[in-house]
Every structure is written in C-alpha cells, then in structure tokens.
Amino acid sequence: MTMNDRLVALDFLENKSYPDRVPFHPPENYPELGPGDTHPGNEVYAGVRNVLRLSGLDRDAYGTDRWNPLGDLIEPGMTVFIKPNTVRHYNTEGHDVLSIINHASVLRPILDYTVRALRGEGRIIIGDSQVIFGQFDKAYEAAQIDQLLDWYRDRTSIPIECFDLRMVRGVRTWMYGKWGRKRVEQDPRGYRFVDLGERSCFNGVDPTRLRIAIASYKNMVKHHSGGRHEYLFPKSVLDSDVVISIPKLKTHRRTGVTLAIKNFMGIPAWKDSLPHFITGSVQEGGDQYINPSLRKRICTRLHDEIQSNPLTPVKFACAVVKKIVWNSSMVVPFEDDIYEAMWPGNDTLWRTLIDLNRGVLYADREGKIQDTQQRKFFGIIDGIIAGERNGPVGVDPVPAGVLMAGSNPVVLDIAAATLMGHDIEKIPMIHRAISPNGSQLPLFEGSADDVIVALDGRTLSFEEFSRAYNLRFEPHPTWKGHVERD
C-alpha cells in the first residue's frame, strides 16, 4: 500500500454553488493548459484542479506547462471510462436536482486533464446505469452534460462517447400504474456477465430469498445459484483501462451513505441480478423487515406473483389483494414500518456493492475475474451541493462546497463518511470493504487509521481529521440515531 493509495485530497469552496455558463472555462489561464477563454470566479474548476494537486499527481511538474496530473494514471491510446452519478432526472421531494446528480462543471476539468493525458490517442466513454425508471437524456440535460459534450466534441480529436448503460428502462403502463420495460441496449460493444463465483459475498446465502423489488425473483435465482454469482457489465466498462468515478456526497436509505463504493451500482446493465434485501425478518434470517409479520410475508408473496406471473388477470388479482393486506396497517399497525430493508440492518446491499467493485477492478476485458487489478481507479466526490436525510433521490440539499479525490474507493468513503459526521464502523458497506492483508480481491488492505487527508497545505492523520471536521449531515430517518459519530 503506497501513500497515494491511502491519501484523500479535500478542498472546501467558498462559493457553494455551480457555475451556470457552459462550457465552464477555468477561472484563469493555467500554465499546463495554455492561453484560452476563461470564466473568472469558476471555483469548481479551480477546486477540481486543487484536489488533483493535493493528490500528489505529477507533483514535481506542478506549476509548469508540463504538469499532467492524470498522466500518472492515463497513457496515450488508453480507453478512459468516466462514471458520473446521474441516478435520476429529478429530486423526488421537489428539491434541487443537483443535490442528487453531478453538474457538468465538475466534469469539465476532468475532461480537460483526461484529454491532456491521452495526447491525441485513445477514447473517452461516459455512461451511467440509472435507477430503472430514470430518464437518461433528461438527467444529462438537467446536469448540462449534454451541452458541455456538444461543445467539447468540436474541440478535440479524442472520440467522446456518452450513452445509457442499461439494457432496459422503466416506462409507465396503463395497468395499475406499474412500470413496464423498454429496451435501451446502447453499448455498441455489447455486454458480458462478470461471475464472482465463490469469491462473491453471496457465497453461501440462500438465493431463493434474494430480492430486488423491480424484478422477478426467478431472474435473481438464475444469476445467483449453481455456483454462479454474476452481474451483467457493459463491455465498454470492461474494455476500459482507467475508470474515473464522480460520486455525489449524499445519505442513503439502505447503505447509510452513497459515495464512491455505491457509485458502482450504476455500472451493471441488468438490474435483475442486484440483490437489495433478503426476505423475512431478522429473527427469520432476513433483513427485509425487523419483526416477524404474516401480513408482510403475504405481501411479499403477492409481489413476487405480480412481478413473475405472465397472466394479466392473476397480476391484477394479486395487486388488489396486496393493497387490501397492506392497507390493513391503517387499522392494525405493523410492529415496525420497515419493508424493503431500508434501515441499518440491511445485510444484503453491501454484498452486492463489494461484488460490483471487485468486478469493476478485477474483471478482465472478457469479464473473467483475475487475481490482480485490471484497471486503474480515480475518484472525485462532488459535494458542492450535497444531500442529507431522504437519500439517495429525495435528499434535502446541503451547500457543503466540498470536493474530495483519491485513488481508492474505500479510502474515499472512509474520509467522506467521516466528514459527513458518520461512524464508518456503523456502515457495513464501508467497514466490510476493508480487507485484512492477504485477502483475495482486496479493495483496501489496512484500516481507517491508515487514511491520510491532505488539505490547506496540511496532511492530517485519520484521527486528527475526524477530530477536526464534522459537517453533521442528518442521516436518512431510519438511520437517525444509528450511524452518527459519538
């Protein structure tokens, strides 16, 4: 483990907002970029540049026209995959959509330094696999990414692709207000299954109890049984040499926070093999809800029929009965109000996310898991407008003015969750991603105490950082009182 592997760069911006003038030029003519148009006051560009500097990239050349920070990761001829967070095209609570998705002004400097590192040879691919009912084009329009790319493509010889990674997206149907499916399948290179097999975090878990609410449990069993634990990846991700991730700084209803580890939930093209919960109560070996409940068990069975039965009359009958059973809680309340594992006891989603992170880093171009890391990673967390409470898609905006960068997703999450005021030992997604030395397919070997944070010309140990900084983000309501630092 090198210093760069455990280093997180942090910058606080005075202006806690995004510029609104495409194409978001740098605020001044930096020596490495040469003369050109400027956008005075664009702190976002300056902040991204600063966290690249604080990360120690191409340290000796900083301040000269030779500085090429991403050149430490990217070589000419490589394929660079950029994964923004564009999870949904609107905030479900009616708040600013930029509290849940990245803004194009954060992407602009990343593109500039990526193009500089490629030196005229290679390819850039930008994409995201949104929640199934997200509208890709509308999200990229809201983020102004579409306008930025229209401008940028005319000014570089590097091909820049941008597309929806999903195989299908959700559409409204005329029956019961349910979601139907429409094929997307835009990756020109196709798709490959990445099978973790015995190395999956689901090895030994009963596959018949794994669920995601939007799909038939039969598809879930198909992909998590017979020794298989597989996820469908876009080939464009597998063909990449470097992955640059741009997570948002937000709370989350199932994982506590959504940062760098969680951002790879937006990689798989097929949602049906992504377990979100295990059926039943804790006492019954599940995490779907807290206390045993016959009515919730009945609702789960009816939901399974709605998702998997091909006969419309059966679907309709099940939907009617499910609504009656569920609404009985208005007369006789459930013992707890948890249903789809949206609480700190979720023992499922961290497994999915660790599997996905291992897939991104260790799967070769054909989707076969190798013993050594197959592509480089760099992440820049966008917390300029962050989000708290009802995450990930209905957060209250937090003008935090934060940018963070690092070369390891787990290290980034350790520092970012701590900055938010959360205890990583209370977040399974993070503390279970920390591997002891000698582990197979490690994401981060070490401990939180190994993390170093660079900011304001200082380098702080994890202990110093955790004592000095706490933004006190309010957790999701079901996590409140369970995740905060003491």
Residue 398 is assigned to a structural domain of this protein: yes
In the prediction, which pLDDT does 179 show?
65
Asked if 403 and 13 count as a contact pair (C-beta separation under 8 A), the reply is yes
Q: What angle do CA 143, 44, 443 make, to 5 degrees?
A: 80
Residue 81 is assigned to a structural domain of this protein: yes
Domain ranges, residue 438: 4-274+342-468
In the prediction, which pLDDT does 175 show?
56
Residue 410 is assigned to a structural domain of this protein: yes
In the prediction, which pLDDT does 177 show?
47
| Mean pLDDT computed over 132-151 | 97
Residue 483 is assigned to a structural domain of this protein: no
Residue 124's φ and ψ, nearest 5 degrees, are: -120, 130
Confidence band (pLDDT; 50, 70, 90) for 166? very high
Q: How far apart are CA 404 and CA 427, in angstroms?
A: 19
Give the chain's length: 486
Q: How far apart are CA 80 and CA 368, in angstroms?
A: 20
| Residue corresponding to tokens 């902040």 | 47
- Worst-scoring range by mean pLDDT, 162-176, 211-225, 311-325, 471-485? 162-176
| Mean pLDDT computed over 240-251 | 98
Please check the confidence at residue 306 and state whether its pLDDT lies above 70: yes
Please check the confidence at residue 341 and state whether its pLDDT lies above 80: yes
Q: How many domains does the chain have?
A: 1
Please check the confidence at residue 461 and state whether its pLDDT lies above 70: yes
With a pLDDT cut of 90, the percent of the chain lying above it is 94
Q: Helix (H, G, I), strand (E, B), or coil: what is residue 201?
A: coil
Which residues is 230 bridged to in the sheet? 195
Amino acid at 144: Q
Residue 478 is assigned to a structural domain of this protein: no
Q: How far apart are CA 213 and CA 303, in angstroms?
A: 8
pLDDT tens for each residue of 387-403: 999 999 999 999 999 99
Please check the confidence at residue 404 and state whether its pLDDT lies above 90: yes
Q: How far apart are CA 381 and CA 41, in angstroms?
A: 21
Residue 460 is assigned to a structural domain of this protein: yes
Residue 439 is assigned to a structural domain of this protein: yes
pLDDT tens for each residue of 170-227: 887 755 545 688 999 999 999 999 999 999 999 999 999 999 999 999 999 999 999 9
In the prediction, which pLDDT does 3 show?
63
Residue 456 is assigned to a structural domain of this protein: yes
Alpha carbon of 334 to those of 278, 282, 303, 319: distances in Å?
Answer: 19, 15, 18, 19
Name the DSSP letter for residue 461.
Answer: E
Q: Mean pLDDT of all residues in the chain?
A: 96
Q: Is the dihedral of CA 303, 305, 310, 314 positive or negative?
A: negative
Peptide bond before 23: cis, by omega within 30 degrees of 0? yes
| Mean pLDDT computed over 52-80 | 98
Peptide bond before 392: cis, by omega within 30 degrees of 0? yes
| Mean pLDDT computed over 283-302 | 98
Asked if 336 and 478 count as a contact pair (C-beta separation under 8 A), the reply is no
In the prediction, which pLDDT does 174 show?
58
Q: Helix (H, G, I), strand (E, B), or coil: what is residue 46?
A: helix
